[in-house]
Amino acid sequence: MTPAEHEALWRADPHATPFQSPAWIEAGWTHLGGGERVDVVARDNSGRAVAALPGFIWDHEGTRRLVPLGAGHSDYCDALFDAAVPDAPARLWAALAAEGARWDELWLPDLRASSPLLGPVPAGWRVEDAAHETCPVLALPADGAVLAALTKSQRRKIVHDRHRAEALGGVETRLATPVEIDDTLDALFALHGQRWAAAGEAGVLADRRVQAFHRAAAPALAAAGLLRLAVVRWQGRIVAVLLGFCDRRRGYSYINGVAFTPGQSFGTLAFACLIEAAAAEGAREFHFLRGEEPYKYGWGAEPTHTTRRIVRRG
C-alpha cells in the first residue's frame, strides 16, 4: 500500500481514528515496530484500494500472528474501509485469505463495537471474542457548551479548580502551536516521569524509543490537523501537558504529565481546555481512552468497551 493510498483510505473511512492515520502508523512502525510488515490490501476491479489492514507478523511461541500496526500503543486498532464501497469488508476478508500462508492467527485487539471487523468472517473460520479495555466516552453538546451540559456536581470541581487557578495568579491555559511542539513534548516527558518516579516507577514515556515515536508522530499529526496539545503554565513555567487529538467527529485524550502542586489541580484545567476545544470544533464525542480513572466519570463520561477478536482459519 502506497502512502497516498493509505491517506486516501483513512480519509474515506468515517469510522477511522487518528490511530489509523498514516502520521501515527508510520511513526510507530519506524520507532516501535518489529517483525515482518504485511499490509493486506483489498482492491476493486479497477485496482483501487478499497480496504486495508496495515499489519505485521508476530511470532508467538511458534504461532504466527498477524497484528494491526499500532497494537500496544494505540487505544483503538482497526482496518480501513472506503465507506462508499459496501462490500469493502468482504473484499478485505478475501485479501486476508489470500495471505493465509503467512499467518496462523489474525489477532485484533481493541476493536470498537462499530468495527466492520466484528462482522461475519468467511465460512469455516473460527472466531474468539473477549472484552478487552474500558474506554469512557463523553457525549458533547451540539452547541459546544460543555460545562452547561454537565450536572451541578460535575461542574463544581471544574469551576472550583478554575477559581483556585485565578487566585494563584499567573495561570495560562491554551493549545500549543506547531512551533511549540518540541518544547511541549520535553515538558510532557519530564512531568510524566516525575509523577511516576514519585511512585517508584519509570513510566512509559521514560523509554527513549517511545519518546522518539512521539517526536516523529506529533509534527506529522499536526500537519494532518489531528494533534491537540493542551498546556497549562503557571508564572511562565509549564505545569501540565495533555497530549490529545481531534478529528472530524471526536476528541481524544491520550497521555498527560502534571506537576504536583498541593491544593491545585492543573490537570483539570488541561482537560477542560482539550474538551472545550473539541466541542468548539464540532466534535460530538470526547474519548478518554483506556482506563477507568475516576476523573473521567467526573466529567460525565460513560463506559464503552473494546473487543479482542482472534480469528483462525479452519
Q: What is the pTM of this model?
A: 0.94
pLDDT single digits (tens) 220-266: 999 999 999 999 999 999 999 999 999 979 999 999 999 988 778 89
Residue 178 forms part of a structural domain? yes
Residue 293 forms part of a structural domain? no
Decide: helix, strand or coil at residue 308.
strand
Residues 128 and 144 in one domain: no
CATH code: domain of residue 15: 3.40.630.30
pLDDT reported for residue 1: 87
Residues 34 and 172 in one domain: no
Mean pLDDT taken over the chain: 94
Residues 142 and 121 in one domain: no
d(CA 176, CA 232): 10
pLDDT single digits (tens) 167-177: 888 899 999 99
Residue 294 forms part of a structural domain? no
Residues 142 and 127 in one domain: no
Tally the domains of the chain: 2
Residues 79 and 157 in one domain: no
Residues 124 and 216 in one domain: no
Burial 95-109 (b: 16+ CB within 10 A, else e): bbeebeeebbbbbbb
Residues 119 and 201 in one domain: no
Considering only CA atoms, which of 152, 181, 175 is closest in space to residue 281? Answer: 175
Residue 298 forms part of a structural domain? no
pLDDT single digits (tens) 261-285: 877 889 999 999 999 999 999 999 9
Range of the domain at 265: 137-287
